[in-house]
Structure 1
């Protein structure tokens, strides 16, 4: 049985003190548009080398330019206003001001983590994973909505052996987490709310990523297919390519049983561009692989789910290609940016897409640009040119 411990006020204060000792507390720089002149609504956080911009979600005007570390990853916290920023000390909270139309700020609040990694939002929880310890931090998402100067209460589920992993907590308290160590990652384990093991599966080399579909069907990617957890059981879904058919990330909608995964079948292929997708039906418990049209390639940052539970792929030809997960067909194509080449390293700035409602936000690092696209029409409804090359992107919905 795993042990759980709840953070105390002292730990929250320690996290703040540690941050203050190691980094400066950046404040918002003068912005193109004062946040006082805006109303609550979506805000877009954009990381760049050494900083984070916060943009108004409608006009794309810059509301704040905040100092940060050289490379940071951004994930929406789930409360509509905050973004988790992966910093040296852990997950630092960026308040975009989306919920109240206030000035964005990179707060002093940090959830401590050794090598912060994946962030998962599900069932009213925001779940943080520390690769350096395999500890999982669980926060009630609603507690992030009205923060003062202290961290909200949170629960830490101690890990076993450190690895690059991910965890998710389901509605009934079931805890799913990856299994691995310094030598590799092998599978997942499921435990009930009391910590008793429900199920486990070790047939998932290189396990990576997580996605929760309709009915709390949870998919984890493997280098030979995927694992599907549903109704207390783990099912292995084998890839058509063996021994190597890697699904690394799951793109899901919680109102659809269909999952789209990135897919690679050549372990020796150079670069990060991919030309196939995995399609998983969590009800039929099937996995198939679909080749995309010639010239349509993408990276892990370039797939999102959106209107109609369809998948939207920002490809290297500069267009958003609309994919029907039920058939694997491309049903529409929206030209948005210039054609681009894949990155030399995955951390390098390259185009990305995130979706909220009917709007996709698309980055174009080669042009220092960000675009808002209406996915119901394909129309680019707003664009902006920045002084920096955008890298990671996250959206706070404002609700």
Structure 2
């Protein structure tokens, strides 16, 4: 393990925090999964794809939505969060507690899914843009408590146009969508997705199109990558949009070749990855944290806003057709020190996650879920989840995928069409569900 300390550059920025009430909703929702799933006596095969989740409470129908032909809405006693799972030619919506299929939406082509950020909707990256998928489960804050509702999921006609939909990032109460083909960025409040009229967007366009990412920041500021179709070099910090949508540049850094990915950490720190380390944006400054290798790429990161440490991958062979890494990175945004941890297993870009307490989780090709102390890099525990696997050459091909919510982890296994639910506190798989399709990407409606 190596440590590096780097110098700070003086770039003004105010980072952001998430809405506290939204975090509370989703923490409560996914905590309830464990109690429900632990009651399962044996893995249960998936039901009819057209089946829907029902409630033992009387439905409370909104007259207006019923009149317009919208799904019936039922108030339920506890939150009933749902998952979205892609497969070749469609998206499944599952009940997160028992894994049963609530809806099956057929969508041609290779589709990707991202949380919209409001705890209810998912954005499907598909032909023509980011299409809105209502998972049909949400919670509403009423004073000092929540009310929970369910309805049939709906794949809405609404779509945020994009020729090549890329990253979707929720931060500071806003969601930013990046079109890799044009450099267009659309920013909106995801809470408006529940309204009848489409959300109003603030739009920005990068000087040149590239595979990029935009991060909404507090006070209306925007962090956006810079590059073109041949290379990417850094980030630019923009102030709040003025009348007419124009933004002025506060500061910029070009010291980030191959810039890719983003993550948020404690104290409103934002991290983006580079082919030679990272950029840490915090407290009005941008710090370059350099890799110990000339080529030390950190292209995928996983953060937790209760932890100052960001978990990242780490690749050292620039010439590899596909490098299967056996080292990962831990970057402390409080000290701007990088720690590298060697492993006896490999992993993929869909292997990284963080639990509620901030532990660093990696799903290894040995089929085990490895849990690390982010402050020391020491392995705390290991949970066997799936059989050994190998990362496919094509990044679009299915591979075991990790999704962590609170103290619950969900792991797909394309080889067996299974979805496993892991109780991180118990340290064991508590439920395994067989799906009707080979699962690929996996997400929840919360960011």
TM-score in terms of structure 1 length: 0.88
Q: CA deviation at 1:169?
A: 1.4
1:153-191 CA-to-partner distances (Å, cap 9, x unmatched) read: 111112210000001111122211000012210000112
* Counterparts of 1:271 and 1:180, CA distance in 2: 23
Contact 1:272 1:346 survives alignment (8 Å): no
* Counterparts of 2:427 and 2:323, CA distance in 1: 26
Q: CA deviation at 1:34?
A: 2.2
2:306 to 255, 261, 273: 255
* Counterparts of 2:225 and 2:95, CA distance in 1: 37
Is 1:118 the counterpart of 2:160 in the alignment?
Answer: no
Aligned to 2:145: none
Q: Rate the CA distance shift 1:132–1:44 in 2: closer, same or farther, 3 A.
A: same
1:1-399 equivalent positions in 2, closer than 5 A: 31=49, 33-37=51-55, 39=76, 40-99=79-138, 100-144=149-193, 146-148=194-196, 150-194=197-241, 195-242=247-294, 244-292=295-343, 294=344, 296-397=345-446
1:268-288 CA-to-partner distances (Å, cap 9, x unmatched) read: 234353211111111111222
SS in 2 for 1:136: strand
Which structure carries more relative contact order (alpha carbon 8 Å, separation 6+)? 2
* Counterparts of 2:393 and 2:156, CA distance in 1: 33
Contact 1:260 1:278 survives alignment (8 Å): yes
* Counterparts of 2:159 and 2:152, CA distance in 1: 19
* Counterparts of 1:152 and 1:67, CA distance in 2: 25
* Counterparts of 1:147 and 1:358, CA distance in 2: 32
1:259-318 CA-to-partner distances (Å, cap 9, x unmatched) read: 1111101112343532111111111112222212x1x21101011110320111111111
Runs of 4+ residues deviating >4 angstroms? none
SS in 2 for 1:350: coil
The answer for unaligned runs of 5 or more in structure 2 is 1-46, 57-75, 139-148, 242-246
TM-score in terms of structure 2 length: 0.79
Structure (1 or 2) with the larger CA radius of gyration: 2
Moved more, 150-159 or 175-184: 150-159
* Counterparts of 1:154 and 1:200, CA distance in 2: 24
* Counterparts of 1:271 and 1:366, CA distance in 2: 21
* Counterparts of 2:327 and 2:369, CA distance in 1: 15
RMSD: 1.7
